[in-house]
Structure 1
Amino acid sequence: MFVLDHPQAPTLIDARRPTLVDCFEHALGRATARGCARRIAEGDTDSGYLRRNLLRFSADPERARARVTALYGPGVPGVAAPRTGAAPLDPEREREPVITATNRGDIAATLVHLYRGGPEAELRPALGRYLAEVTRGLPLMPGSVALVADTSESLRGYGDREWALLSQAAALRLVLAEICPRLTVVEVGEQQGPTDLAGGLLDALATGPELVVLVTDGYENRLSGDLGRVVATLPRIGIDTPIVLCRSMFTGRDEMSLRNPAPALPCLDFWHQDDFAGLLPRLFAHCADGRDWIHAAVRHRLDRRPEGVLP
């Protein structure tokens, strides 16, 4: 995301456009990145979708929009053919698929099948393989991390979306468990119970972590506004532990205005397994060991780039 504010971004885009597009789409998720590009090309300047998925990462929204336009050129669907070297967005090939509970990444899909009562003898080994693929080569985060995991009924969902949000939240929990040896998990809203995010936060802080991660769908149905009040009080009693709210969504277009129980907290949204690659660096940037982890993760990504792709 540094391309949005980098002082030499125009030069970098001209010289290394395919590489920057690849990094940009890896950070945001391909569907989200290209969705932002399409909206900008269609004249969108400040919609909720753009603010949530793009503009909040830049100090200058106008410059961010201009640089996304430069990254993709006129290859966004509905405009002229791309310039030489631009990243084409074929409207047929790149049309977003119908999103279901089981096409939002292999880890979450396997969890959905498990929650639905599928054969554990087959699904558990598959889950391990998919988790290993996502975390293979990633550095370990040495700092202590506390995860407040919302497991309430609202996260389970119903109908076509049943298990979708819970499976994606559980997928993030599994990934964090693999790369954070000092992870502590506090569950709230156990199954049919109410979502007590504030109580879970206090329990997590009692473990003395360097970072607290709240993973939820954003609904607080025990004492509405309680989390926000607790968060506002913590600095007054000398607690400055970084706290990040991570909201599980069904799609990148979910309406989130009623799902923000603590507006003062930094908030990261995710709906697909591909989002983890961008979410983890932004998450760990809030703790002391995060800088070294991000540098190591970037080196790992560069080492895995396809042969012939320039850094």
Structure 2
Amino acid sequence: MDAAWARAEQVAREDLVMFVNACFSCTGQREFYNDGRGQAVSIDFLHAYILGNYRRLYSRTLAAGINHFNQAQIILNLLATGAQTRPEDRREEGALIAMALRALPPQRAYRVLEVMRERRINNRRARAITRQYLAGRQDLNFDALKYRPKLRAAVAHGHLKLAGELNPFLFQGWRKRVYTTPLLETFRRAHYEQAAIFELPFTIAEGFARKHNIPRDVFLTRIQPRLTSAERLRLQGSAARVETSLAIDLGRTPLTKLALYVLSLKLDTRRERRAELHAALEQAATRTLRQASVPLGRVAAVLDNSYSASGSSEKRRRPLGVVLAAHYLLSALAREYRAFWTRPAEEPLFLEARGQTDLSTPLLDALEWKPDLVVVVSDGYDNDPPNAVAEVTRIFRTKLDPSRRTSIIHANPVFASELYAPRGIGAQVPTVGVRDAEDLPTVLGFARFAEGAAPLSELENYLAARVRRMLEPGQRPVQPVELTGEEEA
């Protein structure tokens, strides 16, 4: 009986570790080696399996720092199956859903509400969550413009009545009346007046610019004051094509996004702006540390810049961007730091994705340096020669360092759909999934569970502690949605 119980606990721990790792790395998009369909099928299966077998831990995964794509999936699945929630878990589950939904970027949160309508999720808790989310939005007038179809779907699905002129605006159309709300009236006037276009959010104004045949360079120049930091970064290429410059504040750009921007620049441009870009990346890494500082000792990073790091058409250069960002972040985290690349470049800023993947050579060099921690950032496809890194880690662990004086962790930004997990680099090295380099402090703490040394109870305590931190009073108050009795189907 004890053996059967121990085996059941091991299976549960492995299932949950696999799921959390998948939720860090998978976004349902095409990868270098896998298409989007395979990614979607694999992650949907994992969600259904964990939801059906470990519902409480499934909901608590919302607090584990997973990516937005999987947070949205968990919210939808929990709301769709609310009748299966145990009475003692209803309060916590409702609070987690409400907090996670509010923390999502608005476009993702509104997409969740829109999918609720598509999937006909309309129980009492779903409607309460929708009301609570909309009540907490700072500017619903702005949302009514920028996310109009999604907001309209949510309001119609939940039979909600919004204050002021929002319901007429959403359902009767802009032609029906003159609005007293300035932003709504600006939207109405933009159909006839070019000047009104430049008072609207960029995504709305862009459509009007095409309607009024405003030249792209003129439009980008005049809409600049309305652009967000992310939009400025995203539009750099578009602006360059029409010989227009958009000012960007690199000092406020998140680390991984900044790394992706740097890699999108031509090599000559990177050389010309070397000092500026290097300083911006260091500054972004320092900002990340303020949010999640995990001081480290002597750290070696094995960084994969082989051709597969170029990503896919949907995630262009993302693995390489995560590698570059991880280099700067680990450099800031560690007391001593050295980087070992699969294809060494003149400088990290001048990285390009080239050649096959040889992880064993830089790993051997890293181990020779005798670090306290080795972090391997790679998609796990070691093919030059195949599986050499697995043999290196096996010999090192079993023969050279059985006492584990040196820790080795593999951080993988790519989900392998055929494995239902990020691809590992050998049985001796724990693999953790990452979406952005900013996830590294979180996944380094999670690595002990991936290694298999920690029992299921410790993993449960880890998730429970993260739930408490997520719902603690220091956060913006969210009244948990608690229902008595069985919810509507």
TM over 0.5: yes
Q: What corresponds to 2:370 in structure 1? A: 208
2:65 is matched with which residue?
27
Seen in structure 2, the aligned counterparts of structure 1 residues 137 and 38 have a Cα distance that, compared at 3 Å, is closer
What is the TM-score normalised by the length of structure 2? 0.41
Question: Which letter maps to 1:163?
Answer: R
Q: Residues 168, 66 of structure 1: CA spacing in aligned structure 2 closer, same or farther, 3 A cutoff?
A: farther
Query: Is 2:431 aligned against 1:267?
Result: yes
Q: How many residues align?
A: 248
Q: Check if 1:279 corresponds to 2:427.
A: no
Which residue does the alignment assign to 1:177?
331
SS in 1 for 2:377: strand
- Which of 227, 230, 237 in structure 1 is aligned with 2:389? 227
Q: CA 1:178/1:160 → structure 2, altered by over 3 Å: closer, same or farther? A: same
Matched, 1:117 2:271: no
Q: Return closer, same or farther for 1:224/1:68 CA change in 2, 3 Å cut-off.
A: farther
Q: CA deviation at 1:144?
A: 1.6
Superposed displacement of residue 143, structure 1: 2.1
Q: Please point out which of 396, 413, 422 is paired with 1:248.
A: 413
Please give the alpha-carbon distance, in whole angstroms, between the structure 1 residues aligned to 2:424 and 2:334. Answer: 26
Indicate the residue corresponding to 1:150 in structure 2: 304
Shift of 1:216: 0.5
**TM-score, length of structure 1 as denominator length:** 0.61
**Structure 1 or 2: larger helix share?**
2
Question: What runs of 5+ residues in structure 2 fail to find an aligned partner?
Answer: 1-15, 17-58, 82-88, 102-111, 135-149, 155-232, 236-252, 345-352, 452-461, 479-489
Sort the Cα spacing of 1:263 and 1:136 in 2 relative to 1 into closer, same or farther, 3 A.
same
* Counterpart secondary structure, 1:82: helix
For 1:80, which of 123, 138, 148 is the aligned residue?
Answer: 123
TM-fit CA distance, 1:81 = 3.5
CA contact (8 A) 2:256 2:438 kept: no
Q: Aligned with 1:169: secondary structure?
A: helix
Structure 2 counterparts to residues 80-99 of structure 1, below 5 A: 80-82=123-125, 92=150
RMSD across aligned positions (CA): 4.6
**CA offset at residue 283 of structure 1?**
4.7
For residues 269 and 68 of structure 1, what CA distance do their matches in structure 2 show? 26
* Larger RCO (CA under 8 A, 6+ residues apart): 2
For 1:283-294, what aligned pairs fall within 5 Å after superposition?
283=447
Q: Aligned pair 1:36/2:198, yes or no?
A: no
Q: Secondary structure at the match of 2:417?
A: coil
How far, CA to CA, are the matches of 2:375 and 2:400 in structure 1?
19
Q: Is the 8 A contact 1:186 1:204 kept in 2?
A: yes
Q: Spell out, residue by residue over 1:6-53, the C-alpha distance to the aligned partner (whole angstroms, 9 max, x if none).
A: xxxxxxxxxxxxxxx99943622444334234345557xxxxxxxxxx
Quote the Cα distance in structure 1 between the aligned partners of 2:407 and 2:335.
Answer: 19
2: CA distance, partners of 1:238 / 1:70 = 50
| Identity rate, percent | 19
The alpha-carbon distance between structure 1 residues 277 and 231, as it changes in their structure 2 partners (threshold 3 A), is closer
Larger Cα Rg: Structure 1 or Structure 2? 2
Specify whether residues 218 and 164 from structure 1 end up closer, same or farther in structure 2 by C-alpha distance, changes over 3 A only: same
Residue 214 of structure 1, CA deviation? 0.8
Secondary structure at the counterpart of residue 412 of structure 2: strand
Cα deviation code 1:266-293 (max 9, x no counterpart): 111112355345224335898xxxxxxx
In 2, Cα distance between the equivalents of 1:40 and 1:264? 35
